[in-house]
A and B are shown apart, each in its own frame.
Chain A
């Protein structure tokens, strides 16, 4: 399967700990997006990359959050000093942007529970 892959699928962490999630996009896709989804709500945009450049960050992305895509392929999202309010599903999506555009394809997400 060559879809968007996210690891881990589930993460339980204690408040105050740091966590890191990984996203592997579809290989030829140059854009990669991170979203957060809390229970009963639609996904909310956090940030996106075109290749290795982070082009936009939402106000939702506090200073405790950092995302990287160092080689323009996989991406990591780190949350430092986690809080209970960070409990959510973190979704990654990728798309191809250029002469031929594709829609955004989503991974299955990483569900974070902060206890």
Chain B
């Protein structure tokens, strides 16, 4: 699976959009971009994934650049409960696969 690079930390004001970047310049054509988050003292939680097209669900939007070398996770209206570590993961198989390779992620702090 391709390596990802994320900023170690970010702040966002409550109610504003949180935009979390991820670089994955070595991504292959069959690799998906996944996002998970981990709230303190809890297990990771799946957020969203995509291959080429932008994706949106009830939690977030995923914007993937045309060359697929980077992506941005957007939380449209961040709340205090969105404070968590956000992991960007690139993997070759959609759906259940044998393992996820987590990096260090981005610590997002939503400020009141």
Closest chain A residue, CB of each to CB of B87? A42
Taking Cβ atoms with an 8 Å cutoff, the residues of B that contact A are 41-46, 49, 85, 87, 94-96, 98-105
Q: Would you give the shortest CB distance from A81 to chain B, in whole angstroms?
A: 26
Given contacts A93-B44, A105-B46, 4 further A-B contacts (CB under 8 A): A42-B87, A91-B43, A103-B96, A109-B42
Expressed in whole angstroms, the Cα–Cα distance for A103 and B101 within the complex equals: 14
Q: Would you give the shortest CB distance from A21 to chain B, in whole angstroms?
A: 13
The answer on a CB contact under 8 Å between A44 and B102 is yes
> Quick one: which of A55, A97, A103 has the most chain B CB within 10 A?
A103
The secondary structure that dominates the B interface is: loop
The answer on a CB contact under 8 Å between A55 and B98 is yes
The answer on a CB contact under 8 Å between B44 and A97 is no
Q: Which residues of B contact A108 (CB under 8 A)?
A: 41-43
Closest chain B residue, CB of each to CB of A111? B41
Q: Would you give the shortest CB distance from A16 to chain B, in whole angstroms?
A: 27
Q: Which residues of A contact B100 (CB under 8 A)?
A: 43, 45, 104
Expressed in whole angstroms, the Cα–Cα distance for A43 and B46 within the complex equals: 14
Q: Which residues of A contact B46 (CB under 8 A)?
A: 103-105
The answer on a CB contact under 8 Å between B96 and A31 is yes
Expressed in whole angstroms, the Cα–Cα distance for A102 and B44 within the complex equals: 15
The answer on a CB contact under 8 Å between A95 and B103 is no
Q: Which residues of A contact B49 (CB under 8 A)?
A: 103
Produce 1/0 per residue, A24-52, CB < 8 A to B: 00000001010000001111110010000
| Residue from A31, A41, A43, A101 in contact with B44 in the complex, judged by beta carbons closer than 8 Å | A43
